[in-house]
Each structure stands twice: as structure tokens, then as C-alpha cells.
């Protein structure tokens, strides 16, 4: 298993099956930086994916008319947004916009 596979790179990002490697760094610190950037990218994607999932859950709870479930989903969504903003996965204005939208959806 290559260093790029261990870092979590997909086959497409590694360039497998194309006969070449997408990553061209020769300097050791730059290779480390590439790996770190990929790890951070995947972590940011986890946060944004989780937020989208919570949004869908909130919308289905509101559509079903389940008030207690909608409150629980809204609370969980706001916590996930705050955590993503704190970790730097989302810009604070983007987080505020998403929380505002969630409150609008919650109101019905």
C-alpha cells in the first residue's frame, strides 16, 4: 500500500489506472503538507456532509409534523454547524446563514 493510499486518497486522486501519479512533490515537507491537506479536506467534507444530512432530517421531521423530533433535529443541526465553524470547516457567515435557514425551516 502506497503512502498516498494510506493517507486516504481515492484511486482517482492518486492517478491509478492512468499510468501516472498526480502528486509531483519531491521535497519531504511538501509531501507531508500534501498528505495533511488531504486529511483536512476529508475532515471538512465529513462536517459538511453531516450538516446536509441533519438538514434533510429536519425537513422531513417538519414535513411530517412531528414537533418534538423537529426540535431535536434542529438542536443537533445547530450544534453540528457551530462545531464546523469552530473547527474551520465552515466560514462563520456561512454557518450563520445555515442556522438562519434552519430556523426558517423549523418555523414551517
Cβ within 8 Å of residue 76, ≥6 positions away: 54
- In this structure, what C-alpha cell is assigned to residue 23? 502528486
Cβ within 8 Å of residue 50, ≥6 positions away: 80, 84
pTM of the model: 0.75
Domain annotation for the chain: domains and CATH numbers: 3-107 (1.20.58.110)
CA distance linking residue 20 with residue 5, whole number of Å: 15
Residue 22 banded pLDDT, cuts 50, 70, 90: low
Cβ within 8 Å of residue 2, ≥6 positions away: 14
- In this structure, what C-alpha cell is assigned to residue 75? 438542536
Residue 92 banded pLDDT, cuts 50, 70, 90: very high
The predicted-structure confidence for 28-87, as pLDDT tens digits, reads as follows 999 899 999 999 999 999 999 999 999 999 999 999 999 999 999 999 999 999 999 999
Q: Write down the pLDDT at residue 108.
A: 78
Amino acid at each position: 500500500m502506497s503512502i498516498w493510499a494510506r493517507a486516504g486518497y481515492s484511486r482517482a486522486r492518486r492517478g491509478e489506472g492512468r499510468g501516472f501519479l498526480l502528486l509531483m512533490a519531491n521535497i519531504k515537507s511538501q509531501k507531508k503538507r500534501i498528505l495533511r491537506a488531504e486529511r483536512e479536506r476529508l475532515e471538512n467534507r465529513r462536517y459538511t456532509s453531516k450538516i446536509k444530512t441533519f438538514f434533510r432530517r429536519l425537513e422531513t421531521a417538519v414535513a411530517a409534523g412531528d414537533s418534538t423530533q423537529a426540535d431535536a433535529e434542529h438542536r443537533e443541526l445547530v450544534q453540528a454547524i457551530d462545531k464546523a465553524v469552530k473547527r474551520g470547516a465552515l466560514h462563520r457567515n456561512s454557518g450563520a446563514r445555515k442556522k438562519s435557514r434552519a430556523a426558517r425551516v423549523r418555523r414551517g
